[in-house]
Structure 1
Amino acid sequence: MTRTAVLICPGRGTYNKAELGYLSRFHGDKADLLAGFDAQRVDRGQETVTALDGADRFSMARFSRGDVASPLIYASALADAQSLAEDIEVVAVTGNSMGWYIALAAAGALSDQAGFEVVNTMGGLMQSQLIGGQLVYPCQSEDWQLDLVAKAELLSKVDEINQRAEHDLSLSIDLGGMLVLAGNEAGLSAFEKTVPVLQERFPMRLPNHAAFHTKLQEPVAAEGRARLSADLFRQPVKPMIDGRGQIWWPGANTVEALWSYTLGTQVVEPYDFTRAVQVAAREFAPDLFIITGPGTTLGGAVAQSLVQINWCGLSGKADFKARQADNPVVISMGDAEQRKVVTP
């Protein structure tokens, strides 16, 4: 019996100490795929993906860099997408932030190698320019009840700070019950001083992250378009849901429009991952939401996005945990046990 699934690709921050060796652990059978990625890195004078994955130790300063994290995450996620059991039918693909680039390859809009070129190029540009930064702050209760009033107040504070002279701050990613904010140092610091500390860790700065999905990235977007031709892109084989919740149906849009969104709009405007997940749920009604590795941190945001629309009666964290224990609907391939549910 076929199981339908929406495939979800992760973004930055998902290849951490626990993920070191992910490719060798799970994808020893994909030497040809990885060799192509390694060849691109060698041509640019960069350390290969397999060498990075095989490092003796993990260093946050090294592995959180855009030119290191991005290719590792892409290789891990795409290899996972190509490892699903035969009874799983992927009905749509989406991703979070950088995960959009991976989704393009998983859905066929970029070849495996073209997708790596896009990710490696954009990751390198982000790192070399490193414009601004990001932080995370919750707008929900600990039982995953979205506080719409608190969310509106937080976004109002963001707007007010952004109006100050020499302060840049705006929404970067709507991430389930979390807001990812991005801006320059003045804007981020002003927000940190204005809000209470929650759960002893928020607001939380994200190391080596730039002000993704904001106007501050316009120079990066322009350089990306200059280096990456629309010829790299093609029509997707699977429907894709982007960072606005728009569905890109196979054959329904031009390749030029997809290139323009990917290396323009998507880079400089907020990314609504919450909406992408909710559109995927409502439009495709899958049996499973499969999150490729590496890492398992995106599972919470997917679950929170589903709880917000009461998907299949899920009304909170307790409901979701009970459902997962009985008949899991969100599968993180970065979790060794959950991985067994969707791989041969």
Structure 2
Amino acid sequence: MTRKAVLICPGRGTYNKPELGYLHRHHGDKAALFAGFDAQRSAAGQEEVTTLDGATRFSVSKYSRGDIASPLIYAASLADAQSLAKDIEVVAVTGNSMGWYIALAAAGALSAEDGFTVVNTMGTLMQEQLIGGQLVYPFAGADWQNDPARKAELLAIVADINTRAGHDLVLSIDLGGMLVLAGNEAGLSAFEAAVPVVEERFPMRLANHAAFHTSLQAPVAAEGRKRLAAGMFSQPKVPLIDGRGHVWWPGATDTQALWDYTLGHQVVEPYDFTRAVQNGALEFAPDLFIVTGPGTTLGGAVAQSLVHAGWQGMSGKADFKAQQAKAPSLISMGDDAQRAIVTG
């Protein structure tokens, strides 16, 4: 019996110390795939992906860099996407932020090699320019229940800060029960001063993250468009759900428009991951939501997005946990126990 799945690719911040060695542990059979990626890195004078993954020591300052994290996450995620059990039918693919680039390759709109070129190019450009920064702050409570009033209140604070001279601050990613905000130092600091500390860790700055999905990234988008040709893009083989919740259908996709979105709107406008997940649920009614590795941090945002949509009658964290215990519908491939549920 076929299991239908929406495949979800993670973004930056998912390759951390526990993930060091991920490619070697899980994908010893994909040497040819990684050799192509390594060749691109070597030609650019960059450290090879397999060398980075095979290191004996992890440091946040190095591995959180865009030109290091992006290619590692791409390699791990795409390899996971190629490792699914034969009874799983991927009915749609989406991703969070940088995960959109991985989704393009996982859905066949970019070849594995061209997808790597896109990720490595954009990750390197982001790191070289490192314009602005990001922080994360929750609006949902510990029970994960949606709180539109609190969300609106926080976004009003953001909008007010953004009107101040010398302050840039806007929504970067709508991430389940979290808001990812991006801006310049003045904007980020003003928000940190304006809200209470929650769970002893929020607001949380994200190391080596630029102001992704904001107009501050216009120079990065422009340079990306110069370096990455529209001819790299082709018809997706399975439906692709982008950062607006829009579906790009096989056989009906304008590939020029797909290139334009990927290196335009997707870079400089807010990314609505919540809507992408919810539309995946409502449009495709999958049996499973499979989050590729590395890491497991995206699972919470996926679960919260489903709860906020009332998926299968869920209204909070307890409902989700009960459903997962009965018949898991959300699988994180970065978790070894869950991984076994969806691999061959």
TM-score class, shorter-chain normalisation, is over 0.9
Q: Please name the residue that 2:285 is paired with.
A: 285
AA matched with 2:264: G
Residue 319 (structure 1) shift = 1.1
**TM-superposed deviation, 1:253:** 2.4
Aligned residues: 344
Q: Distance in 1 between matches of 2:161 and 2:287?
A: 42
Equivalent runs, 1:214-229 vs 2, <5 Å: 214-229=214-229
Distance (Å, rounded) in 2 between the aligned partners of 1:312 and 1:150: 25
Question: Which runs of structure 2 are paired with 1:111-126 in the superposition (5 Å)?
Answer: 111-126=111-126
CA-CA distance at 1:265 after TM superposition: 0.4
1:129 aligns with 2:119: no
Q: Which residue of 2 aligns with 1:151?
A: 151
User: 2:315 and 2:163 mapped to 1: Cα distance?
Assistant: 37
Alignment of 1:58-207 (within 5 A): 58-207=58-207
Runs of 4 or more, structure 1, over 4 Å off, are none
Q: In structure 2, what is the Cα distance between the partners aligned to 1:197 and 1:84?
A: 40
Following superposition, the deviation at residue 254 of structure 1 comes to 1.3
Whether 2:299 is the aligned partner of 1:296: answer no
Query: Distance in 1 between the 2:206 and 2:241 partners?
Result: 25
Superposed displacement of residue 309, structure 1: 1.2
Alignment partners' CA distance in 2, 1:122 and 1:223: 9
**1:88-144 deviations in whole A, cap 9, x for unaligned?**
000000000000000000000000000000000000000000000000000011000
How far the C-alpha of 1:325 sits from its partner, in A, is 1.4
Q: Equivalent residue for 2:260?
A: 260
Aligned-partner residue type, residue 237 of structure 1 = K
Gaps of 5+ in 1: none
Amino acid at match of 1:178: M
Identity %: 76
The amino acid that maps onto 2:53 is D
Deviations 1:168-205 (A, max 9, x none): 00000000000000000000000000001111110000
Aligned to 2:25: 25
Question: Which residue does 1:10 correspond to in 2?
Answer: 10
| Residue aligned with 1:200, SS | coil
Q: What SS does structure 1 have at the residue aligned with 2:258? A: helix
| In 2: Cα distance, 1:129 partner to 1:325 partner | 45
Q: 1:11 is paired with a residue of what secondary structure?
A: coil
1:326 CA drift (Å): 1.5
CA distance in 2, matches of 1:200, 1:40: 42
1:259 partner letter: W
Secondary structure at 2:208 match in 1: coil
User: Unpaired runs of 5+ in structure 2?
Assistant: none
RMSD value, Cα: 0.5
Write the distance in 2 (CA, Å) between the matches of 1:334 and 1:322.
21
Q: 2 CA distance for matches of 1:193 and 1:252?
A: 48
Q: 1: distance between equivalents of 2:146 and 2:158?
A: 18
Q: What one-letter code is carried by the residue in structure 1 that aligns with 2:58?
A: F
Distance 1:221 1:175 in 2: 22
* 1:251 Cα deviation after fit: 2.0
Quick one: distance in 2 between partners of 1:260 and 1:99? 17
Matched letter for residue 57 of structure 2: R
- Output one character per residue of 1:271-310: Cα deviation in whole Å (capped at 9) or x when no partner: 0000000000000000000000000000000000000011
User: Offset of 1:323 from its aligned partner?
Assistant: 1.2
1:329-344 residue pairs with structure 2 within 5 A?
Answer: 329-344=329-344
Q: CA deviation at 1:342?
A: 0.2
Find the counterpart in structure 2 of residue 310 from structure 1: 310
1:317 is matched by which residue type in structure 2? K
Tell me how far apart the structure 1 counterparts of residues 86 and 295 of structure 2 sit (CA, whole Å).
Answer: 23
CA distance in 1, matches of 2:247, 2:262: 13
